[in-house]
Structure 1
Amino acid sequence: MPLIPLKQSITITKPGEDDGWGGTTPGEEVELSARVTETHEVVTNQHGDEMTSTARIYVDGLADVTYADTVLYADELGRTIDKEPISIAPVRGIAGASLLTKIHL
């Protein structure tokens, strides 16, 4: 059972194969229940650079999300956010187990 209510859903698209033109084709798509908060905040990415995040997403457990993936979220009005993650971090409980994964887009 998740720590917080996960009423929204996101779609994670894994990178596919090399298309021969310097890009990749879309790969496997995974849909997850999530808690999405649309907000603007400054976060630090995996290289230590400060960037502005437009959404904070929580998913249950330790999610299989990488910086090469594309995360798609559509709100109730049909507006979409389709970006690669800026920051991915597990949220651990007092016993050290991963309770949630926090993703900034």
Structure 2
Amino acid sequence: MAIMPMKQTVTRIRKSGSDWDGTESEERVDMKCAITEGAKLVRSSSGTSGVQSISSTEVVSTAQIYFDKLADVQPTDEFEYTNELGITRKYPPLTIDIKRLNGKPILTVVSV
């Protein structure tokens, strides 16, 4: 049972392959979630494997997507959400945070 009600649905779009050789494919998966829309200041970090420094910037998140337990989300995914007014938006993730209780994942929070 989720720690908060997951009454909304978001579509995770994961692309694989390469566009230049024509092997690009798109996987679309509907996921149950809870979404909170509103501006929030988050710190987005970027770095390359093997590099000694990681740069971080402060960005404004327009929504937070909450998934139950440990969700299969990656920084390269894109999320598509249709709100109650029928407006569809696509969001790239800014940060992915995993909330844990006694070492077990209880919530995945994606700021977009």
Q: How many residues align?
A: 102
SS in structure 1 of the partner of residue 26 of structure 2 = strand
Identical-pair percentage: 34
Matched, 1:20 2:27: no
SS in structure 1 of the partner of residue 73 of structure 2 = coil
- Report the TM-score, using the length of structure 2 for normalisation: 0.85
| TM superposition shift of 1:69 | 0.5
* Structure ID, larger Rg: 2
Give structure 2 stretches of 5+ with no counterpart. Answer: 47-55
**Cα pair 1:13 1:26 within 8 Å, conserved:** no
Matched, 1:76 2:75: no
Q: Deviations over 1:48-72 (max 9, x none)?
A: 2111110011001111111110111
SS in structure 2 of the partner of residue 57 of structure 1 = strand
SS in structure 1 of the partner of residue 45 of structure 2 = coil
Structure 1 segment 47-66 matched on structure 2, within 5 A: 47=46, 48-66=56-74
Give structure 1 stretches of 5+ with no counterpart. Answer: none
